[in-house]
Structure 1
């Protein structure tokens, strides 16, 4: 909340500080879990395919020996699937760490970004409407997205 505290006017006080729901972090961790699952599935399917098509070296090989016999392209594909999940996790955590949302008695403040900063501010009296978007999981776990519409452009 460093940006929000620095941008407060002398007569302004914080009313509410917005934060990400814990399900956002769970979703980030699931991106790692799913990518690991799909990477391992690629390896297993390739080993089963090699065995099915009669590659003799695979018949009596251990799991590690089977992985070593696999084509390097298959191993790279599985590796990149896992790396994609790690990058997705890192991106989600950076977004969470660098986003500040606050409501003061005068305005709503939204700041996002680590190096390139994106800031949105709107006066409370200029807010025209608010929409709450919730999925079924959002209704169950009490989270959602808030869309604020302001007057003018």
Structure 2
């Protein structure tokens, strides 16, 4: 399956910058897998705990697998690109949501980062168009400052 941006590029249009949803979407899965490993290790270290620990680890492993697949699917189905003409953002696979805005129609680009976002280099980006168009928000994007720079460099 090809990338969405490759399917919609106009003749002569070039992709200048591409980014994706940040890996932080995997955090629930990572935490669940840590709990699974802790329960499994405790069950091995303390044999009487194995009666409850291993079944609990198995149940949490199913939850961890769900969160892993959910995070992967979100990242796999999300694309954000800056071309020499426009910004394109696409999410979803079957229920697809896209927006495109011409670079010359962008009034400002706002970046909102929390403290963890600054430390791990992710944040929300709001693209404000000219006129009455409401801002388009791209949530939890990787490298939001580089993304803003790619837009404002033109």
TM > 0.5 fold call: yes
Query: Residue in 1 aligned with 2:128?
Result: 149
Q: Point out the structure with max Rg over C-alpha.
A: 1
Alpha-carbon RMSD across the aligned residues, in angstroms, is: 3.2
Cα distance between partner residues in 1 of 2:35 and 2:95:
29
Q: TM-score, normalised by structure 1?
A: 0.64
Query: Residue in 2 aligned with 1:17?
Result: 18
Cα distance between partner residues in 2 of 1:19 and 1:149:
20
Query: Residue in 2 aligned with 1:87?
Result: 66
Query: Residue in 2 aligned with 1:63?
Result: 48
Give the deviation of 1:100 after TM superposition: 1.1
Greater helix percent: which structure?
A: 1
Query: Residue in 2 aligned with 1:113?
Result: 92
Gaps of 5+ in 2: 134-154
Q: Deviations over 1:37-61 (max 9, x none)?
A: 68x39x98xxxxxxxxxxxxxxxxx
Gaps of 5+ in 1: 45-61
Greater strand percent: which structure?
A: 2
Answer yes or no: is 1:126 the counterpart of 2:127.
no
Answer yes or no: is 1:27 the counterpart of 2:27.
yes
Q: TM-score, normalised by structure 2?
A: 0.64
3-state SS of 1:109 partner: strand
Cα distance between partner residues in 2 of 1:124 and 1:89:
35
Give the deviation of 1:80 after TM superposition: 4.2
Would you say how many aligned residue pairs link Structure 1 and Structure 2? 128
